[in-house]
Amino acid sequence: GKWKNKERVLIFSSRGINFRTRHLMQDLRTLMPHSKADTKMDRKDQLFVINEVCEMKNCNKCIFFEAKKKQDLYMWLSNTPQGPSAKFLVQNVHTLAELKMTGNCLRGSRPLLSFDPAFDKEPHYALLKELFIQIFSTPQYHPKSQPFVDHVFTFTITDERIWFRNYQIIEEDASLVEIGPRFVLNLIKIFQGSFGGATLYENPYYQSPNMHRRLIRLSVAAKFREKQQVKEVQQMKKKGSKVLIEEDPTEVVFETPAVEKPVEIQLMKPESKPIVKDKKKPRKIQRKKQKKLFRTEA
Question: What is the Cβ-side half-sphere exposure of residue 48, based on CA atoms within 13 angstroms?
Answer: 5
The pLDDT-based confidence of 241 (bands split at 50, 70, 90) is low
CA distances from 38 to 35, 63, 150, 176, 265 (A): 10, 11, 28, 33, 118
Q: Quick one: pLDDT at residue 279?
A: 67
Q: How many CB atoms lie within 10 A of CB 46?
A: 9
Give the DSSP H/E element, type plus range, for residue 232: helix 209-239
Q: How many CB atoms lie within 10 A of CB 183?
A: 23
What number does CATH give the domain 9-209?
A: 3.40.50.10480
Q: Residues 21-71: pLDDT tens digits?
A: 999 999 999 999 999 999 998 877 888 899 999 999 999 999 999 999 888
When mean pLDDT is compared across 12-16, 104-108, 114-118, 237-241, the lowest value belongs to 237-241
The band of 173, judged by pLDDT with boundaries at 50, 70 and 90, is confident
Domain extents in the chain: 9-209
For the segment 106-117, what is each residue's pLDDT rounded down to a tens digit? 888 889 999 999
pTM of the predicted protein model: 0.73
The percent of residues in the chain predicted with pLDDT above 90, rounded, is: 52
Q: State residue 287 phi and psi, 5-degree precision.
A: -60, -40
Using the predicted structure, report yes or no on whether residue 152 has a pLDDT greater than 80: yes
